[in-house]
Amino acid sequence: MAGYDWITFTSDYGLEDHFVGVCHGVMARVAPGVRVLDVSHAVAAQDVRQGAVVLAQAVPYLPRAVHLAVVDPGVGTGRGMVAVEAGRQVLVGPDNGLLVWAAEALGGVDRVHALQNPGFRLKPVSRTFHGRDVFAPAAAHLAAGVAPAELGPEVDPGGLVRLERPAVRAGAGGVAGSVVAVDHFGNLALDLRVADLEEARVAVGDLVEVRAGGRAHRVLVGETFASVAAGELVLHEDAFGSLAVAVNRGRAADRLGVGAGAPVEVAKVPAAGREGGG
C-alpha cells in the first residue's frame, strides 16, 4: 500500500494542554515524513455530534489523507475503535458516530477494520488517552503504508454507531431545529438549511422571529453579515450550506444566551407586525 502524504487531526483536546502536541509527537515517530494538518481542536468537550459535523464539513476540502478524529467520552469503556475506509481515504477514531457523516461525505463507507492488533499501539495503553496510545499510532501506520487489514479484523459496516440526523420541522411560516455549534466568533450554526426556509415560505429579505433561550428576537434573513447594521442580528447561509444566526461585529451566542444543542424556532413575521427588534 502506498500510504498517504497527510494525516488530518480533529479533536476536543483544546490547545491549553499538551495532548495535541503529544499525539503529533507519536505520529512523527512512526511516520516522520508524513505531514499533519490540524482541522480543529476546539470541538466542545465530549460533544460527538459537533465533532461529527466539523469533520463532515471539512473533509471535502482536505487533501487525500488518513483523517484522525478523537472526541471520545466513552474512552476506557467497551466502545469500538475503528479504521473506516471511504473514498480511497481512511478515518480513524472511536466508534461512537464521530466518523460516519464524514465517511458519507467522502462517498460512503467501503470497509471497516477494528483496531485490535497490539503491534500498532503504544505500550502500555492508558485507560484514558487512547488518542495517544491507539488512534494516533494507527493513523501514522496507515499513512506510512500499513494496510487497514493489518490493524485488525474487518467488521460489518452496518454495525457502526450512527448518530441520528436532527429532526427538522418545517411548515407554512415557520421551521424548528437546534444549534449544532458555536464558532470562535459566536455565530450559531443551525441544523437547518435554506431549503427548510423555502419550505416555510421564508426568503432572503424577510423578517423572522428567532425563538431561543426563552426569548424571541426579530432577525433579518440576509446574505451576509453586512446585510444588517453593526450590532444587529442576521440569519444567513454559512460557508458550509447551513443556516447560522450571527451579529454583525458581535456575538450571537451572547445575545441569544444559548449554545450547542439548544432548540431554535424560526417564524416569519407577518407584514403587519414588522416594527421593532430583538
Q: What is the pLDDT of residue 165?
A: 78
Domains for the chain: give ranges and CATH numbers.
6-159 (3.40.50.10790), 169-273 (2.40.30.90)
Say how many CA atoms lie within 13 Å of 47 toward its Cβ: 19
Is the CB of residue 85 less than 8 Å from the CB of residue 148?
yes
pLDDT on residue 144? 98
CA distance 140 to 135: 9
| Residues above pLDDT 70, as percent of the chain | 95
Indicate the range of 27-36, 153-162, 177-186 predicted with least confidence: 177-186
Per-residue pLDDT band at 275 (split at 50, 70, 90): low
Mean pLDDT of the chain: 94
DSSP the chain: ----SEEEEEES--SSSSHHHHHHHHHHHH-TT-EEEEEES-SPTT-HHHHHHHHHHHGGGSPS-EEEEE--TTTTSS-EEEEEEETTEEEEEEESSTTHHHHHHTT-EEEEEE---GGGS-SSPPSS-HIIIIIHHHHHHHHTT--HHHHS-EE-GGGS--PPPP--EEETTEEEEEEEEE-TT--EEES--HHHHHHTT--TT-EEEEEETTEEEEEEE-SSGGGS-TT-EEEEE-TTS-EEEEETTB-HHHHHT--TT-EEEEEEPPGGG-----
Q: What is the pLDDT of residues 205-236, one digit of tens each?
A: 999 999 999 999 999 999 999 999 999 999 99
pLDDT at residue 273 in the model: 53
What is the mean pLDDT of the segment spanning 28-42?
A: 97
